[in-house]
Structure 1
Amino acid sequence: MRVLVVTAVPAESEAVTAGLRAAHPAPDSSGAPESVPLPGRALLRVPCPASDGSAPALVVDVLAGGVGPGASAAATAGAVMAGALHRRPYDLVVSAGIGGGFAGTAPVGSVVVADTIVAADLGAETPEGFLPVTELGFGTGAHRPPAALSRALAAAASAASGPVLTVSTVTGSAARAAELAARHPGAAAEAMEGFGVAEAAAAQGLPVLELRAVSNPVGPRDRAAWRIGPALSALSGACGALVSVLHAWEGPVS
Structure 2
Amino acid sequence: MTGLLVVTAVPAEAEAVRAGLPDADMVVVPVGVGPAVAGAATARLLALAEAAGRPYQGVVSAGVAGGFAGAVAVGGTVLGTRSVAADLGAESPAGFIPVDELGMPPELLGGGVAIAADPDLLATLQSNLPEATVGAVLTVSTVTGTARSTEELRRRHPDAVAEAMEGYGVGVAAAHAGLPFVELRTVSNPIGPRDRDAWRMREALAALTTAAAALA
**TM-score of the aligned structures, taking structure 1 as reference length:** 0.80
Q: Deviations over 1:178-234 (max 9, x none)?
A: 100110012100000000000111111111100000000000110110000010011
What CA distance in whole angstroms lies between the structure 2 residues aligned with 1:137 and 1:239?
Answer: 40
Aligned-pair identity (%):
54
> Which residue does 1:52 correspond to in 2?
none
What CA distance in whole angstroms lies between the structure 2 residues aligned with 1:107 and 1:161?
Answer: 13
Structure of greater relative contact order (alpha carbons < 8 Å, 6+ residues apart): 2
RMSD: 1.1
Instruction: Give 2:8's aligned amino acid.
Output: T
Instruction: Find the partner of 1:142 among 110, 114, 117.
Output: 114
Structure 1 residues not aligned, in runs of 5+: 25-45, 48-58, 244-254
Q: Deviations over 1:35-74 (max 9, x none)?
A: xxxxxxxxxxx61xxxxxxxxxxx1111100000001001
Give the secondary structure class of the aligned counterpart of 1:230.
Answer: helix
1:125 aligns with 2:94: no
Instruction: Give 2:19's aligned amino acid.
Output: A
Give the secondary structure class of the aligned counterpart of 2:91.
Answer: strand
What CA distance in whole angstroms lies between the structure 1 residues aligned with 2:28 and 2:214?
Answer: 16
What CA distance in whole angstroms lies between the structure 2 residues aligned with 1:8 and 1:149?
Answer: 21
> Which residue does 1:220 correspond to in 2?
193
Give the secondary structure class of the aligned counterpart of 1:210.
Answer: strand
Kindly tell me the number of residue pairs found equivalent between the two proteins. Answer: 208
Q: Deviations over 1:99-136 (max 9, x none)?
A: 10001111100000000110000010111111111111
**TM-score of the aligned structures, taking structure 2 as reference length:** 0.93
> Which residue does 2:15 correspond to in 1?
14
> Which residue does 2:137 correspond to in 1?
164
Instruction: Give 2:82's aligned amino acid.
Output: T
Larger Rg computed on CA atoms: 1
Structure 2 residues not aligned, in runs of 5+: none
